[in-house]
Amino acid sequence: MRLGAFLYPSGHHIAAWRHPDSQADAGINFQHYVRLAQAAEAAKFDLVFLADGVGTRGDNLDFLSRTAHSYIAQFEPITLLSALAAVTSRIGFVATASTSFNEPYHVARKFASLDHISGGRAGWNLVTSSSEHEAKNFNRDTHFDHAERYGRADEFATVVRALWDSWEDDAFLRDKNSGRFFDPDKRHVLDHKGRFFQVKGPLNVARSPQGHPVLVQAGSSEAGRTLAARTAEVIFTAQQTLQDATGFYADVKGRLAVNGRHPDDLKIMPGVFPIVGRTRAEAQEKFEELQSLIDPVVGLALVSGLTGGIDLSGYPLDGPIPELPETNASKSRQALTIELARRENLTIRQLYLRVAGARGHWQLVGTGQDIADQLEERFVNHGADGYNVMPPTLPGGLTDFIELVLPELRRRGLFRTEYEGQTLRENLGLARPVNRYQTERQAVLEN
């Protein structure tokens, strides 16, 4: 079982920052992240995962002033992970960077650099932005439509992966006696001209320790699944039920062969939000304490964001979710949230209480054994290759998982006691990609 520690500054619950044991200034507290990363590494997690947004989400100042979510005040992730790489040695680092408001050359260069700095522990979480508020920070009045976002993302990923092959592994001779710094035959100019991007290349960073940083994708829509089957090596997703999880797993893994890939080439790691206690009563008490801290203004805004960004303030909190038009934001998250509300017959208030922690991801409340039982069930039934663990509060929620759940998983032989390798790829069980130009030359020689 693969495990990521998904660190949202004070914790994933919408009211986490208000909890007495949470680090309220976590978003800009570097030592807080150092302690978390080192704790996750000591526990043998595969990776630390950071989400990101390039703009605060929303114009409702009353809501924004009451929440630490919505990317109000927190570090830029690649900068943060580069610093954390210096105080760790084995755990992987995955940062989010959007294809909507970046250029492929920038992303390729930054993640190749992070891979070098960390000694082969970098991963890029490829996302398409879904917020109008981000678009307005990048010379746009409106956001790209959904189909265009994914078309751009597909080409973006193609360019980035090609740039990571600009240099063959042994291109840099650095031979002082001959005066030759690199082998000209092992430098490759991309000269890409596509629908969205024109990139000459080559990348001005040597090929990184992993060949390519691990490519992670977050997205479960039809377009997202198609993109993942072509490009992703890890997919971060959200399903509420075992049936949905096994269906998603089979669907995405089943698309790999068409792209010349093996099922083991892609690890599916859904998000899981665990509230763990030494007894079930203690776990429930922890959950109810957090729930009591939710401001209704924040809860309503959360539901509005998850259901497509439509203003719900005109509807009664104790009434049902109204019929809503299809969103141009995250289609999969809108569908998942509305389906949850319909399936459980939830009012708007009940829905925000239901999703305040996990935001549509799988929420578990119980003892270490209870949590391990449910993680094992989904894992052995081919609903997941592992999980991206979303602690409700930080540091406490991560500590609870490490102390109460991991020993139970290890007792069952489901999680490692030591790292298998030095790089993120090795620990995830992913092959190191061969440089495409080296492959082409070998094919020519064999023919």
Domain final residue, candidates 330, 355, 380: 355
Domain assignment of residue 230, yes or no: yes
17, part of any domain: yes
- Give residue-wise pLDDT tens across range 259-312: 999 999 999 999 999 999 999 999 999 999 999 998 888 888 777 777 777 777
Please give the tally of structural domains in the chain.
2
- Is 384 within the bounds of a domain? yes
Question: Are 316 and 395 part of one and the same domain?
Answer: no
Task: List the one residue out of 416, 420, 421, 387 whose CA is nearest residue 4.
Answer: 387
pLDDT recorded at residue 233: 97
Q: What is the pLDDT of residue 407?
A: 98
Q: In this predicted structure, what is the pLDDT of residue 59?
A: 74
Shared domain check, 246 and 345: no
Kindly state the tokens that stand for 230.
């072509």
Distance in angstroms (rounded) separating the CA atoms of residues 334 and 313: 17
Same domain membership, residue 59 and residue 103: yes
Whether residues 34 and 59 share a domain: the answer is yes
Q: Are residues 423 and 405 in the same domain?
A: yes
Do 323 and 426 have their domain in common? no
| Residues 220 and 346 grouped into a single domain | no
Q: Read off the tokens for 440.
A: 């082409």
If phi > 0 it is left, if psi is from -120 to 50 it is alpha, else beta; for residue 40 that is alpha
323 and 273 together in one domain? no
Same-domain pairing of 422 and 306? no
- pLDDT tens-place values along the chain, 447 residues long: 999 999 999 999 989 999 999 998 999 999 999 999 999 999 999 999 999 888 777 777 877 788 877 677 899 999 999 999 999 999 999 999 999 889 999 999 999 999 999 999 999 999 988 777 788 888 887 777 878 888 999 999 999 999 999 999 999 999 999 999 999 999 999 999 999 999 999 999 999 999 999 999 987 788 889 889 999 999 999 988 999 999 999 999 999 999 999 999 999 999 999 999 999 999 999 999 999 998 888 888 777 777 777 777 778 888 888 787 676 556 667 777 888 788 888 888 888 888 777 777 899 999 999 999 999 999 999 999 999 999 999 999 999 999 999 999 999 999 999 999 999 999 999 999 999 998 877 777 776
Q: Is 10 left (phi over 0), alpha (psi -120 to 50) or beta?
A: alpha
Q: Is 437 annotated as a binding residue?
A: no
Q: Is residue 290 part of a domain?
A: no
Structural domain contains residue 222: yes
35 and 88 in a common domain = yes
347 known ligand binder? no
pLDDT of residue 70: 67
Mean pLDDT computed over every residue of the chain: 91
Identify the three-state secondary structure at position 208: strand
What CATH number does the domain containing 76 carry? Answer: 3.20.20.30
Q: Are 34 and 95 within one domain?
A: yes
Q: What is the DSSP letter of 238?
A: -
**Residue 244 is assigned to a ligand binding site:** no
Confirm or deny that 52 is annotated as ligand binding: yes
Amino acid at 299: G
Instruction: Indicate if 272 and 198 belong to the same structural domain.
Output: yes
Q: What is the CA radius of gyration of the chain?
A: 22
Domain enclosing residue 155, as ranges = 2-285+359-443
CA angle 354, 239, 95 (to 5 degrees): 95
Evaluate the CA torsion angle 422, 424, 430, 433 in order and state its sign: negative
Identify whether the C-beta of residue 278 lies closer than 8 Å to the C-beta of residue 369: no
Q: Is the dihedral of CA 253, 259, 262, 268 positive or negative?
A: negative
Pick the last residue of a domain from 355, 371, 397. Answer: 355
Residue-level pLDDT at 329: 59
Residue 128 assigned ligand-binding role:
no
On whether residue 26 sits in a domain, the answer given is yes
> Does residue 221 have a known ligand-binding role?
yes
Chosen domain end from 355, 371, 387: 355
